[in-house]
A and B are shown apart, each in its own frame.
Chain A
Amino acid sequence: MLDLQGVSKHFGGVRAVDGLDLTVARGEILGLIGPNGSGKSTIVNLICGLFPLTSGRIIFDGTDMSDAPIHTRVTCGVARTFQNIRLFGQLTVWQNLWVAQNSGQQRSQNFVRRWFGGSRGAREEIERTLEFFDLAHKCDELAGNLAFGEQRRLEFARALSAKPTLLLLDEPAAGMNAEEIDQLDSRIRKMQQDGITVLLIEHHMELVMSVADRIAVLNFGQKIAEGTPAAVQAHPLVREAYLGTTATA
């Protein structure tokens, strides 16, 4: 479904991503891990269009997305969350979800109805999303006033409001306690059940190993390993990247 071919991103002399080939199959949950600075967040930004590619191509669902503007990618079905939450703090919870209804199908609705009316369908979708994320009781609260955990859930909910077919989660578990991570685990699985492909960038190993179908490991902007969670855990290069090698005398 998503195909990164020879993707590179250089910031001056720094090669954040270097000639990466990565494929995400439809319907799978792909985990992307790697030490800090390995390029994981840069890849998310490249896929979503925040950074232009230095070289390589990004193919989504058969179409070359490499030069498309950010909002067009969302309309095509790619949505993301931000590692450091970027909610619209001055808008209410409801409005945060409302403005994000930008999928292709939603866009094809009647212009006046979409922008100025309140279509029942849109309202019901928002209510359902709020229920699923346990935020219904806060729907008129300003997003900036929510607790941290609630903000994280809202960030996730907002990404879903655009009805994506590919969801990029950028370190969603950061700062969560064990109970919240359990809930996150089950929500991600529910995504998969609903037919959404997930690319999960995470540091939290237990979550990734538990929920991912396959894992790709990055180091210094390059892919060093790929495979099932078990295979990756046993991979020597991965161990070296995280734990280092033993010093030879």
Chain B
Amino acid sequence: MDFYLGLLQVIGVHTLLGLSAYCVLLTGQVSLAQAGFFAIGAYVAGIFTVLAHWPLVPALGASAVVTGAVACAVGFPALRVKGLMLVVATIAFGEAVRLFFFNFTYQVQTGTLHLGPHGAEGFRQIRYFPEHGWSTFDVMLFIWTVVAVVMAALWWLDSSRAGAVLRAVGEDELAAQSSGISVTAVKVSAMTIGGVIAGIGGGIFAHYTTHIEHTQFGVGLAAFAIAYPILGGLSNVFGTLLAVIFIQGFLIEGLRFMGDWRNLLFGGLIVLAMNIRPRGLLDAGAVQALKRLLFSNRERSGA
């Protein structure tokens, strides 16, 4: 049972990671920096709960603020970098963050223990959950409450004018500017929101794994971050959720059936998926078809 709860925890946190990339992708910016924001959130939250003895929620709040500020700062130079060059720039940013934490040491002595991030060793003993009596189930519930709130917020955003403006910028920046939209404001805002979500996700991640280190936050994680929304489809937030469930479920459960070959098949699966369904699982067409299916059922049962 604990195994499945753990799986749900991972899916939840990865959904936050995917949603952070989703926000930025809507505006047409392909950002591989989300893993970097995730890392910053993780370390910041860990430092606040372990070294400053803050409760969890304020520590996550601090993560959100710090990561949001960094993301905003990244958002501005990102404007100057067109299209696919942004991919490279964000890869480099992510690597720079990882290298920063590889070299980052800030230890505080409590009794006989040295606590805090310690360079290549990482940040151990983030024991907030065990120390405060959270069970695995409690943690899972907490994670999914956060995920539900974020998804609801993004769903609401998507159905509002802000969502349409984000997508307009993503589709045709020139037409958007010529309609009076300040593309700078929109893109930087999207990057900031994405950063905040990734920061919160990272903060939660640090606490349920209890030990974080720089190798976890590399290009691989960044690739996962954008894989979720791309594979899931950018039409709505549920596509990302679906993709996370599918990918994480496949990777973790697949161990049973395919053993070591699951990683191999994973890469192949991505390639296949992009060839067959380039717009993702839940693209605009699929969503419209689903709507027709659901609403025509309702009509029939109502009549």
Tell me if A88 and B172 are in contact (CB < 8 A): yes
Closest Cβ neighbor of B162 among chain A residues: A115
Partner of B177, one of A71, A91, A103, A117: A71
Tell me if A91 and B171 are in contact (CB < 8 A): yes
Listed A/B pairs (23) with beta-carbon separation below 8 Å:
A69-B177, A69-B182, A74-B177, A82-B175, A82-B178, A86-B175, A86-B178, A88-B167, A88-B171, A89-B171, A95-B168, A98-B161, A99-B176, A99-B179, A99-B181, A100-B180, A101-B161, A102-B181, A103-B180, A115-B160, A116-B157, A118-B160, A118-B161
A-B CB contacts (within 8 Å), total count: 80
Assuming the A-B contacts A88-B172, A116-B162, are A100 and B167 also in contact, with contact meaning beta carbons closer than 8 angstroms in the complex?
A: no
How many residues on B have C-beta within 8 angstroms of the other chain's C-beta atoms? Answer: 22
Question: For the complex, what is the distance from the CA of A189 to the CA of B109, rounded to whole Å?
Answer: 80
Q: A82-B175, A116-B160 are in contact. List 7 more A-B contacts (CB 8 A).
A: A71-B177, A74-B178, A86-B175, A88-B172, A90-B284, A98-B164, A99-B176
Partner of B179, one of A89, A115, A158: A158
Closest Cβ neighbor of A87 among chain B residues: B175
Question: Is the CB of B89 closer than 8 A to any CB of chain A?
Answer: no
Chain B nearest Cβ from A115, distance in angstroms = 4
Q: Which residues of A contact B (CB under 8 A)?
A: 48, 50, 69-71, 74-75, 79-80, 82, 86-91, 95-96, 98-103, 114-118, 142, 158, 161-162
Q: Which residues of B contact A (CB under 8 A)?
A: 156-157, 160-162, 164-165, 167-168, 171-172, 174-183, 284
Tell me if B180 and A162 are in contact (CB < 8 A): yes
Partner of B180, one of A50, A71, A82, A115: A71
Chain B nearest Cβ from A86, distance in angstroms = 4
Tell me if B175 and A88 are in contact (CB < 8 A): yes
Chain A nearest Cβ from B183, distance in angstroms = 7
Question: For the complex, what is the distance from the CA of A125 to the CA of B156, rounded to whole Å?
Answer: 23
B177 to chain A: which residues have CB within 8 Å?
A: 69-71, 74
Tell me if B178 and A142 are in contact (CB < 8 A): no
Closest Cβ neighbor of B183 among chain A residues: A71
Question: For the complex, what is the distance from the CA of A241 to the CA of B172, rounded to whole Å?
Answer: 36
Chain B nearest Cβ from A243, distance in angstroms = 35
Question: For the complex, what is the distance from the CA of A48 to the CA of B164, rounded to whole Å?
Answer: 23
Chain A nearest Cβ from B168, distance in angstroms = 5
Question: For the complex, what is the distance from the CA of A75 to the CA of B168, rounded to whole Å?
Answer: 17
B172 to chain A: which residues have CB within 8 Å?
A: 86, 88
The winner among A79, A90, A91, A102 for most chain B CB atoms within 10 A is A90
